[in-house]
Amino acid sequence: MNGMDDIATPRRTKEIIQRHGFSFKKSLGQNFLIDQNILNKIVDAAGLDSTKGALEIGPGIGALTEKLAQQAGAVTAVEIDQRLIPILEEVLAPYPGVKVHHGDVLKTDLAALFKSNFAGVSKVSVVANLPYYVTTPILMKLLEERLPLENIVVMIQKEVADRMAARPGTKDYGSLSIAVQYYSVPELVCIVPKTVFIPQPNVESAVIRLAVREQPPVVVDDERHFFEVVQASFAQRRKTISNNLKSRFFPNEGRERLDQLLQAAGIDPSRRGETLSIEEYAVLSNLLRKEGIGLN
């Protein structure tokens, strides 16, 4: 196909939208990419080839889908907006390896979708320009369901990407950083200007790659308990870890027992949650769990 046929150009995008009488729905966070370079960076970061599959979420009018179809052995795109289904069927007609699934990814049984649509491929990556208002729930679903994923390469709000990749002791580091880094190794691929979208979003964007881990970097006795301890530790960022944990787990007791447990875990009670590494949280969570504090 020659470059003129690419969907991700301002001219072709406008032509498709006008021909189908499509109007953008703000509630669905629809922003279509119109820049070939950015699309190529997204696809390259996923490391696809004909033996691998790609799952796309929110394909829009198929600009990224088209690139994925040219690289991957099998592509499935999940689109929530019924109005886009006929457009996708039309523009993706040249690619028999692409399946379009109409539905809400948050309500979709992804394990079943993987079994039926990716049976013939070795590895699958999620590659998507995600709607910004549901970025975190979608990514957490993909990670928590432990789908057989190699990479998750997504365009998201830059501020969220910064939080996902943040290291301890920085202002962006929080419970989201720890959750994402528990399941994957995040790496910022590129920053994306507003000008490469129709319509332009009012936030800066970034492409991030999450290389999905086969095993978490720490051993925790109970994952739910671990994440509960992490979230409690960041409940109020200005408070010490001792204060945050006390209000969550020790509302009626004196502070002494908690501070003893923190010290037993090798953690100074006056530290703040954002200074603790994922390893320290694992030690602390396992110790609290052993003492019967938190989840039953």
Summarize the annotated binding site as residue ranges. 31, 33, 58, 79, 104, 129
CA distance 59 to 238: 40
CA distance 163 to 32: 24
- Alpha-carbon distances, residue 217 vs 97, 169, 188, 226 (angstroms): 36, 19, 19, 13
Contact, 218 vs 225, CB < 8 A? no
Which of 159, 147, 143, 149 is closest to 124 using CA atoms?
149
Tokens standing for residue 23: 């109007």
Which of 256, 262, 293 is closest to 276 using CA atoms?
262
Task: Specify the amino acid at residue 62.
Answer: G
Residues making up the binding site for S-adenosyl-L-methionine: 31, 33, 58, 79, 104, 129
3 state SS of 216: coil
